[in-house]
Amino acid sequence: MDFIKCACIETLYTELPFLDRFQAAKRDGFGAVEFWSWTDKDLAAVRAAAQAAGILISGFNGDAAFSLIDPAQKADYLAFLRRSAEAARQVGARSLTIHSNALGEGGAVADRCDALSHTVKLCAMFDTLHDCARLGEETGVRMHLEALNTTTDHPGNFLAATRMAAELTAMVGSPMLKILYDVYHMQLNEGSLCGNIRAYGAQIGHVHVADAPGRHEPGTGEINFRRVYACLKEAGYQGLIGYELFPNSTTAEAVRAIMSD
What are the pLDDT tens digits along the chain (261 aa)? 689 999 999 999 999 999 999 999 999 999 999 999 999 999 999 999 999 999 999 999 999 899 999 999 999 999 999 999 999 999 999 999 999 999 998 899 999 999 999 999 999 999 999 999 999 999 999 999 999 999 999 999 999 999 999 999 999 999 999 999 999 999 999 999 999 999 999 999 999 999 999 999 999 999 999 999 999 999 999 999 999 999 999 999 999 999 998
| Concatenated DSSP letters of 110-134 | S---TTS-HHHHHHHHHHHHHHHHH
> What's the confidence (pLDDT) of residue 64?
85
| Concatenated DSSP letters of 43-103 | HHHHHHHHHHHT-EEEEEE--SS--TT-GGGHHHHHHHHHHHHHHHHHHT--EEEE-SS-B
- Of 198, 120, 110, give the one whose Cα is nearest residue 154: 110
DSSP secondary-structure letter at 213? T
> What's the confidence (pLDDT) of residue 232?
98
> What's the confidence (pLDDT) of residue 53?
98
175 prior amide bond cis, ω within 30: no
Structural domains of the chain sorted by starting position, each given as residue range(s) with its CATH number in brackets? 5-255 (3.20.20.150)
Q: What residue ranges in 114-188 does DSSP mark as E strands?
A: 142-146, 177-182
> What's the confidence (pLDDT) of residue 1?
64
